[in-house]
A and B are shown apart, each in its own frame.
Chain A
């Protein structure tokens, strides 16, 4: 009965990589601003949709993807500058509402401009499956895993080598410390939104050749990205990435062995189960609120 296991593992890791990138995006923004960005999934959607649209308009695939990623990162920065910063310090509930508003606005705009259809992007290098460990692996899966890995390495360097990276790794409540180190909190916030847009868009663009995309894929991706965050321990970037991979694999096995109709429910059940037993996530330590 476990004949399909390697297959499920690979496809789980592939999708999980995107969850992980989404989760990383959540973490960046959360660590620098304390905000949970409910528009995170829309970044992923934008990355995929823009790449599709640009490619259709005649741009070569790599150019289309790079442009899509750049535009999404810019959108992230604009959101911070145009909405989040003017609102300033306010109750968490207000920030949730604002980011929800942003996500709906983005989704609505994409729907009005490009319609409700589902779009595809060609794979980066052919679609003839490779046989690995008895599983038929699409080359695109390898691309997804490779690019995610490269991003993780780059982020690791960013977090350990640059002052902005170090500050970002610290907790949101260390804003005062950041200010003391001469880092502008505003600029950090903008950077984190831009970087989240970037990560989300990359995740969206590289996954689209496998899973297709449409204006409304953001909700589900955002939700799963958040579940991955919690799984990894909110605030811990590499925990988030690992959480994404774990979630992807769980989901893939769940869909394969249990029921594919309820595939999307797994992430959520995992999330709730985890909140029940270990609210700080698999890799998170105990946490106390500061007053």
Chain B
């Protein structure tokens, strides 16, 4: 059976910068694959290639065997590829609950006419979305903040909100771009638990970009190391920790 995500030989160029050259990434169903590498290594770019935000100059991206190339972002999301953002892209003009309900946009089964006439279907579906969104807020531990304006939440909670929003869209593959950035140790530990539950209870494949090595080594099933846009190493956390190249290029650095 094909892996959930298979990225092969992907190259990306931004003007004069070769952000990715022949990069690869594999995520299996129900696995957490971490993507690590120094700043500017191309991690975000690689997630962008998967989500459709960045068009590669070459290479393939397959989701469960299906070629995604050429599909725009929203159609990839509909196919089950959903991401969070390194620079936090919450909907600051909405409450926490509305944010997550927006995440469930694709799940709403009613038409414009239903919403204009407030048909029973509209009412029923909106109620269902609300419950779904509440469930996701509970999942990340933000249920009590449901009515807070998203921009009023502290940074760590905004990260969790993005996660809940992504969960609400019912992904098969979740791309998390530095979800622990700006979190304190306790919050990071909590996040680790949540990501694990996403894998263990929901069997969603997770691609995790993260600089917090403790978290990465703790929860990853596999790790891919990017260096200057190419894959330096790939393996289990143990293998990566013992890989001399990786230690030289990255882990030893800080």
Contacts and interface: CB of A to CB of B under 8 A. Distances in A.
A286 B55 contact: yes
A288 interface: yes
Interface residues of A, number: 5
Contact of A291 (B15, B55, B85): B85
Nearest to B177: A291
Contacts of B87: 291
A286 B86 CA distance: 23
A283 to B, nearest CB: 14
B123 to A, nearest CB: 32
Contacts of A286: 55
Interface string B81-104: 000011101000000000000000
B23 to A, nearest CB: 17
Contacts of B14: 288
Contacts of A285: 15
Interface in B1-34: 14-15
Contacts of A289: 53
A249 B89 CA distance: 44
Contacts of B89: 291
Query: What DSSP secondary structure best describes chain A's contact surface?
Result: loop
Interface string A259-291: 000000000000000000000000001101101
A283 B49 CA distance: 25
A276 B86 CA distance: 33
Nearest to B48: A291
Contacts of A288: 14, 53-55
Contacts of B85: 291
A288 B55 CA distance: 8
Contacts, number: 14
Nearest to A285: B15
Contacts of B15: 285
Contacts of B54: 288
A280 to B, nearest CB: 13
A291 B54 CA distance: 10
Nearest to A289: B53
Contacts of B44: 291
A88 B54 CA distance: 28
B56 to A, nearest CB: 11
Among the interface residues A285, A286, A288, A291, which one has the most CB atoms of the partner chain B within 10 A? A291
A289 B85 CA distance: 13
A154 B240 CA distance: 54
Contacts of B53: 288-289, 291
B210 to A, nearest CB: 17
Nearest to A170: B15
A208 B228 CA distance: 54
A288 B19 CA distance: 13
Interface in B65-79: none
A13 B109 CA distance: 57
Contacts of B55: 286, 288
A160 to B, nearest CB: 16
Contacts of B48: 291
A286 B13 CA distance: 11
Interface string B122-163: 000000000000000000000000000000000000000000
Question: Which of A286, A288, A289 has the most CB atoms of chain B within a 10 A radius of its CB?
Answer: A288
B86 to A, nearest CB: 8
A202 B22 CA distance: 50
A291 B53 CA distance: 9
B31 to A, nearest CB: 25
Interface in A197-228: none
A10 to B, nearest CB: 37
A107 to B, nearest CB: 32
A286 B57 CA distance: 11
Interface string A157-178: 0000000000000000000000
A145 B48 CA distance: 45
14 contacts: A285-B15, A286-B55, A288-B14, A288-B53, A288-B54, A288-B55, A289-B53, A291-B44, A291-B48, A291-B53, A291-B85, A291-B86, A291-B87, A291-B89
* A-B interface, 10 closest residue pairs, ranked by CB to CB distance from nearest: A288-B54, A291-B85, A291-B53, A291-B87, A291-B89, A288-B55, A288-B53, A288-B14, A286-B55, A291-B48
